[in-house]
């Protein structure tokens, strides 16, 4: 079990955020092309003020009930849902988020059909690596899934297999970019603290960061 993070300092967040922005620039991406999402699963609600003070504006939560609590307590953030999606939680999540990143089942589409609005935007999770331990539609299933989706699809998300070398994820990120381009989709949610540099080089528009923002001296 991972311990919750306590004692977060705005100065650490600010320094780490600056380092991430620099790495994005070093990859040849323009300011504003890549959104930095703070993954707050292990950050208690009372620590979120330090994130805002450090310059973070976009936050993502993995658990539906925690998302509601944190979003209500901290409306200064734009909120996304980034965790494994239980379709029955869709109506609970929707009022609080900009995007759900992890739509990948027909049961989730049924809930979106019932509870979505013209403003609803989602990302489809794609298992580009064919990893049996990961959720997501396959690349071959994606066209039909997009056709069945009752709300607007803003882009795609993927979680590649855990790898010690970030370069091992490059091909998966490139595959997601190519799928998005083939279907005229803009947003690419890919890359976490261990591999976001490679994801940015391969076209990520949203990177989901935890320790890279929170750990003192991570920059």
Alpha-carbon distance of 85 to 74, in angstroms, equals: 22
What is the number of alpha carbons within 13 Å of residue 122 lying toward its C-beta?
30
CATH number of 10-214: 3.20.20.10
List for the chain the helix, strand, coil content (%; round to 5): 40, 15, 40
CA-wise closest residue to 170 among 213, 200, 211, 147:
200
pTM for this predicted structure: 0.95
CA-wise closest residue to 92 among 124, 112, 109, 68:
68
For the chain, the structural domain boundaries read: 10-214
As averages over each run of 10 residues, the pLDDT of the chain (219 residues) reads 81 96 95 95 94 97 97 97 96 98 98 97 96 92 98 97 91 98 98 96 97 80
């Amino acid at each position: 079990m991972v311990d919750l993070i306590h004692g977060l300092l705005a100065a650490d967040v600010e320094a780490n955020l600056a380092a991430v922005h620099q790495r994005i620039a070093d990859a040849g991406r323009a300011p504003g092309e890549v959104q930095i999402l703070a993954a707050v699963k292990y950050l208690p609600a009372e620590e979120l003020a330090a994130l805002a003070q450090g310059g973070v504006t976009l936050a993502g939560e993995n658990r539906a009930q925690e998302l509601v609590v944190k979003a209500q307590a901290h409306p200064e953030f734009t909120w996304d849902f980034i965790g494994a999606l239980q379709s029955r939680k869709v109506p609970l999540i929707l009022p609080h988020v900009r995007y759900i990143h992890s739509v990948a089942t027909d049961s989730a589409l049924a809930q979106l059909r019932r509870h979505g609005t013209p403003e609803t935007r989602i990302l489809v999770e794609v298992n580009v690596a064919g990893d049996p331990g990961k959720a997501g539609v396959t690349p071959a299933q994606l066209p039909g899934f997009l056709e069945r989706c009752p709300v607007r699809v803003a882009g795609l998300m993927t979680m590649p297999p855990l790898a010690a070398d970030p370069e091992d994820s490059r091909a998966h990120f490139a595959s997601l970019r190519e799928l998005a381009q083939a279907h005229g989709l803009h947003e690419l949610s890919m890359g976490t603290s261990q591999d976001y540099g490679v994801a940015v080089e391969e076209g990520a528009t949203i990177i989901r960061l935890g320790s890279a923002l929170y750990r003192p001296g991570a920059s």
